[in-house]
Amino acid sequence: MAAMTIAKLAKKKIEGEKITSLTAYDASFAKLFAAKGVDFMLVGDSLGNVVLGASSTLPVTVENIAYHTQAVRNGAPDAFVIADMPFMSYATPEQACQEAAKLMRAGANMVKLEGGDWLLDTIRQLVQRSVPVCAHLGLLPQSVNVLGGYKVQGKEESAADNTLRQALALQEAGAQLLVLECIPSSLGKRISEALTIPTIGIGAGPDCDGQILVMHDMFGMNSEYLPKFVKDFLAEAGDLAGAVELYVQQVKEGSFPGPEHCFKG
């Protein structure tokens, strides 16, 4: 299989083909996901919860992400791999450039940062220095203490307008992908139609250009709490390979996420 690139992801948006993605943290699952046609993988700071057993993403370090990025790259040499920049690793543009370099050297094709207006200069500087950027709006797990918990964002009209404005600004600054998390489906549709870069939803409705889930969630492994936007594909498919195939198929055909996985404005 030919290597995935940001240009190919952008082409999928133009042609209306849904983009599929999952988080990955090791070589074995990366190899499986690549074999089953997952378009890209995110080495998420969600590893704080699902790998390290922490109660949030905040304890995750750049070294943690770099370690798992290298493992994913080893398992899937041709995959498009995005690495999360963890909490307080991009507080200034200078710090962001230094820490992003570590993740790119570990095998990432792109880094992901959470936030809006305050990141515009950081994104410009990263892109100028040949570091591709995926932005992230909506629910920002690294800001959970400021947000007061894991809540749907952008429900009020003014908040929705502000999220759209920030999405356009992030694109203008040079972001080439945008993750939208836990926002009303109507807002996910609005932003996806307004942007020329692909949008990747997680609890942001079926009209985003692609979907992402935490792999442990889509396998039903966090049984004590599955967010509304998650479906247990393993329970339906019966084995790991089948679950990944089913996820890719249902995202591509537009049947996932369904109405039961979405938030209203």
Residue ranges at the known binding site for 3-methyl-2-oxobutanoate: 45-46, 84, 112
User: Would strands 40-43 and 199-202 be described as parallel, antiparallel, or unpaired?
Assistant: unpaired
Cβ atoms < 10 Å from Cβ of 150: 13
224 is a catalytic site residue: no
> Nearest-CA neighbor of 110 among 39, 34, 181?
39
Residues 65 and 60: their CA atoms lie apart, in Å, by: 7
Q: Terminus-to-terminus CA distance in the chain, angstroms?
A: 40
Q: Which residues are annotated as a binding site for Mg(2+)?
A: 45, 84, 114
Tokens at residue 137, please? 């709006």
What's the rounded Cα separation, in Å, for the pair 66 and 64?
6
CA distance 25 to 106: 13
The one catalytic residue in 157, 181, 245, 260 is 181
Residues linked to residue 112 through DSSP beta bridges, in sequence order = 84, 134
- Which residues line the annotated binding site? 45-46, 84, 112, 114
Active site residues: 181
